[in-house]
């Protein structure tokens, strides 16, 4: 190893958000256990011995599933709850989606299924007069803008340039937390077979009539053989704003919480249009390429249509080359979709989605995810989405202080602290120091979707994805019983799943 390679920075310092509790029992469950113990003690004082014995036995049996967690840090209640929830949804018929004239949609349109069914798409112009598509999800009052980028291959760049771009990307993410209206961001890298249509059109436009026979034959061979071995890679960055800023949702009037008024679509379009040029400029410096642009409404519609039915990819590309598809947002969804326990069928595609249950525990270089993001010959279409949710500066200080207390408390509960416990304390200390120095705090996750045109190819795709995730030491879990929502979360449409839950993420961390 050379001196230059040894001096390259390493990255890491990740920590899960779940509260430590006591002996592996979450905080709220521990409170319930203390209340149950008090009830049992009251029974003993009342000399109800048999009832106290039965009560204690029931409490112990109910507590044991909380102490046993699987490799993905899920206890038995979470596993059983997911199975019961999916079984109830299947009995209710909500795992099957039919649209169109003979479907279940009242207007006969092919809307997106699930959480995106009520979404609306419109087009506005930013401060520089450039058009951009604005996607609105009324349930959460979220507005999203999709940006298309063409970053350069890191193998073509010097190491110092890559490290500088990583630092600028970290600064871009940190700046998201300074905007109270920004709810989240995501980066989606999708690889799919290249149809070769653009290459053939480009060759045809450049070929002259009096070209030498050898040159013409060579170009014709390239046009025919190159698509069979090439892959088309698209990179999209989605930024999501909330019409109700975080600080406004916590505002109180006297002793009562004032219900905030969400801003209108026009107000959000004006605010986003003013911020968009600065966001795009920051992405260009951070390595997203010099041609970063906001996608127009028709671009978002066409990309979403292909995601739900990959068989029409060639037809959509040919239509875009001859004036456009003319599809509307209400026609971007599938005509039929069936959610299974560990897969999702949408029109003529079968998909399986994974989510990250645990990040890399150690340090890693900037190129750690390159194999997972790169195209693979065993998967027709692969989509990797990294989700980010910035924390406001005030709340970030509370989170890092609480994380340090949890790390020290968890280590103190053991008779002998392990190397992992000591490292957790060091990570919590370093995070608190960096936050005090001005660093931002972000929650993040990874969603990976593999789509095939034949269900018999799903086992091979699963093996490939698990092997690619093992390189960067990501612990990936199949989104069993929740494939439809996970598939939608992996799309570059700005869907923020925690905001659709009945429990807040903070309450769920303490309860489970």
Q: What is the pLDDT, as a whole number, of residue 248?
A: 55
Q: What is the pLDDT, as a whole number, of residue 1?
A: 44
3-state secondary structure of 296: coil
Q: Is 423 part of a structural domain of the chain?
A: no
Cα-only R_g, the chain: 26
> pTM here?
0.84
Q: Is 109 part of a structural domain of the chain?
A: no
Question: Which residue shows structure tokens 């018999």?
Answer: 456
Q: How many domains does the chain have?
A: 1
Round to whole Å and give the CA distance between 43 and 51.
7
Which residue range is the domain that position 204 belongs to?
A: 195-229
H or E element, residue 241: strand 231-242
Q: Is 385 part of a structural domain of the chain?
A: no
Q: Is 214 part of a structural domain of the chain?
A: yes
SS (H, E, C) 389-443: EECCHHHHHHHHHHHHHHHHHHHHCCCCCCHHHHHHHHHHHHHHHHHHCCCCCEE
SS (H, E, C) 27-52: HHHHHHHHHHHHHHHHHHHCCCHHHH
Q: Is 82 part of a structural domain of the chain?
A: no
Q: Which residues of the chain have pLDDT under 50?
A: 1-4, 250-255, 510-512
How does DSSP classify residue 88?
A: H
Q: Is 225 part of a structural domain of the chain?
A: yes
Six-digit token string for 239: 């930024």
Round to whole Å and give the CA distance between 73 and 252.
37
Q: Is 488 part of a structural domain of the chain?
A: no
Q: Is 221 part of a structural domain of the chain?
A: yes
């Amino acid at each position: 190893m050379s001196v230059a390679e040894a001096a390259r920075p390493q990255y890491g310092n990740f920590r899960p958000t779940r509260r430590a509790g006591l002996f592996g029992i979450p905080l709220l469950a521990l409170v319930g256990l203390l209340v149950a113990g008090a009830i049992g003690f009251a029974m003993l004082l009342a000399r109800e011995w048999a009832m106290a014995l039965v009560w204690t036995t029931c409490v112990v049996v109910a507590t044991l599933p909380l102490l046993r967690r699987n490799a993905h840090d899920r206890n038995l209640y979470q596993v059983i709850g997911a199975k019961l929830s999916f079984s109830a949804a299947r009995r209710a018929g909500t795992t099957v989606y039919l649209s169109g004239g003979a479907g279940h949609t009242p207007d006969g349109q092919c809307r997106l299924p699930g959480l995106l069914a009520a979404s609306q798409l419109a087009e506005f112009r930013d401060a520089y007069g450039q058009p951009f598509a604005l996607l609105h999800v009324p349930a959460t009052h979220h507005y999203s803008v999709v940006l298309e980028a063409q970053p350069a291959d890191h193998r073509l760049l010097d190491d110092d340039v890559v490290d500088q771009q990583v630092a600028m990307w970290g600064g871009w993410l940190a700046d998201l937390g300074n905007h109270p209206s920004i709810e989240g961001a995501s980066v989606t890298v999708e690889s799919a077979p290249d149809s070769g249509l653009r290459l053939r059109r480009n060759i045809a436009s450049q070929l002259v009539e009096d070209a030498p026979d050898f040159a013409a034959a060579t170009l014709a061979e390239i046009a025919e053989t190159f698509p069979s071995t090439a892959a088309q890679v698209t990179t999209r960055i989605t930024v999501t704003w909330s019409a109700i800023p975080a600080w406004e949702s916590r505002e109180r009037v006297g002793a009562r919480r004032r219900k905030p008024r969400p801003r209108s679509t026009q107000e959000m379009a004006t605010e986003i249009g003013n911020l968009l040029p600065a966001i795009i400029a920051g992405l260009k410096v951070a390595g997203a390429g010099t041609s970063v642009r906001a996608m127009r409404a028709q671009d978002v519609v066409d990309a979403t249509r292909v995601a739900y039915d990959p068989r029409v990819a060639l037809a959509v590309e040919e239509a875009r080359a001859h004036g456009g598809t003319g599809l509307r947002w209400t026609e971007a969804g599938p005509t039929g979709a069936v959610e299974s326990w560990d897969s999702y069928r949408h029109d003529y595609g079968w998909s399986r989605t994974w989510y990250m249950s645990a990040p890399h525990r150690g340090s890693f270089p900037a190129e750690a995810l390159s194999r997972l993001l790169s195209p693979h010959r065993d998967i027709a279409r692969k989509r990797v989405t990294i989700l980010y949710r910035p924390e406001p500066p005030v709340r970030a200080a509370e989170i890092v202080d609480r994380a340090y207390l949890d790390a020290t408390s968890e280590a103190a509960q053991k008779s002998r602290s392990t190397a992992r416990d000591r490292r957790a304390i060091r990570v919590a200390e370093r995070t608190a120091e960096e936050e005090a120095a001005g660093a931002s705090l972000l929650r993040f996750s990874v969603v990976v979707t593999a789509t095939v045109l034949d269900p018999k190819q799903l086992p091979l795709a699963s093996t490939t994805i698990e092997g690619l995730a093992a390189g960067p030491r990501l612990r990936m879990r199949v989104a069993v019983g929740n494939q439809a929502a996970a598939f939608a979360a992996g799309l570059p449409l700005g869907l923020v799943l925690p905001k659709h839950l009945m429990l807040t993420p903070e309450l769920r961390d303490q309860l489970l």
